[in-house]
Structure 1
Amino acid sequence: MDALNRHPKIIVGVDGSDASVAALRTAATLAGPLEATVEAWACWDVPAGFGLYLVVGIEGFKSAAEQSLERALTAAFGPERPPDVHTRLMRGKPGELLVEGSRNASLLIVGRRGHSGFVLGSVSSACISHAHCPVLVVHAPDEERARAKDRGGKVGDGGK
């Protein structure tokens, strides 16, 4: 734990969604006061049943994840990425990789990908249930506005 206190690290799961862009922005905002670095992790894998097409290669999957990560970083920060934000491209299942990565993190941030305000996505659920550090789940800005509207209020008013 002492190493984490000296060099805090925030890991952000990035899948290119609006929620993951919001998670990146949140991580960058928290990094300053915490004196932490941010690692933006994009995870990719070969879909089940792809074995027949291995002649084509798996580089396309890796490349797509890399492009998605770069687009998310640009959406979050514009052309000038903060110097304390680093990237990692990981092969495997996102939930498993993020949980394992959380062993060496001070904070794990993921976006919520569920279909309603009450259901979390499988990756965020896995992280909440199994991470080895605190987990922050971030809603996409439009999603939060829609939830506030459904409650008859405004974002940040607690539904009043």
Structure 2
Amino acid sequence: MSERKIVVGVDGSDPSKCALRWAVKQAALIDATVHAVGAWEFPAFYSWEGGPMPPDDFEEAARKALDDTVEQVQHEDVPTVPIERELTHGHAAQALLDASDGAELLVVGSRGHGSFYGALLGSVSQRCAVHAKCPVVIVRY
């Protein structure tokens, strides 16, 4: 397994699929492993009325989005490279920043599954571009 790592944010959205495809192609060029990272958190207003789903369902939905996206991209016409998966509880930008420590690149889509809460904090791609300690590629969808 390669010691070089490309971290990519995956939330199941079309922009994150484009980011994963780009990361896989780049990983093949530089002999790196792709580290697909998904994150989940309770919606900002979840506690008001208990929300529409049991708490475990938020994590399960994020895991399904991560797994489905990776599997879909692996079955496309892209190079075969190792893809590791990580699902983290917390804000997506912080999960990506933490995972990208020591990475060659951090790759994110230009937008993803946002929310009003996400809009208050700023976009994930913008926060990653400002705070990452490695180069960041924002793949436009």
Into which bin does the TM-score normalised by the smaller protein fall? 0.7 to 0.9
Q: Which runs of structure 2 are paired with 1:78-97 in the superposition (5 Å)?
A: 78=75, 82=80, 84-97=82-95
Report the Cα offset of residue 75 of structure 1.
Answer: 3.0
The answer to whether the 8 A contact 1:45-1:91 is kept is yes
Q: Deviations over 1:5-49 (max 9, x none)?
A: x71100000111111111111111111221111011111001123
Aligned residues: 128
Q: Which residue of 1 aligns with 2:101?
A: 103
Q: Which amino acid aligns with 1:129?
A: V
Q: Which residue of 2 aligns with 1:29?
A: 25
The answer to whether the 8 A contact 2:37-2:95 is kept is no
Q: Distance in 2 between matches of 1:97 and 1:61?
A: 16
Q: Distance in 2 between matches of 1:83 and 1:37?
A: 6
Structure 2 gaps of 5+ residues are 113-121
Q: Distance in 1 between matches of 2:67 and 2:101?
A: 25
Q: Distance in 2 between matches of 1:19 and 1:75?
A: 14
Q: Which protein shows a greater Rg?
A: 1
Q: Which residue of 2 aligns with 1:118?
A: none
Structure 1 gaps of 5+ residues are 1-5, 115-120, 141-160
State the percentage of identical aligned residues.
Answer: 38
Provide the aligned C-alpha RMSD in A.
2.4
3-state SS of paired residue (1:72): helix
Higher relative contact order (CA 8 A, sep 6+): 2
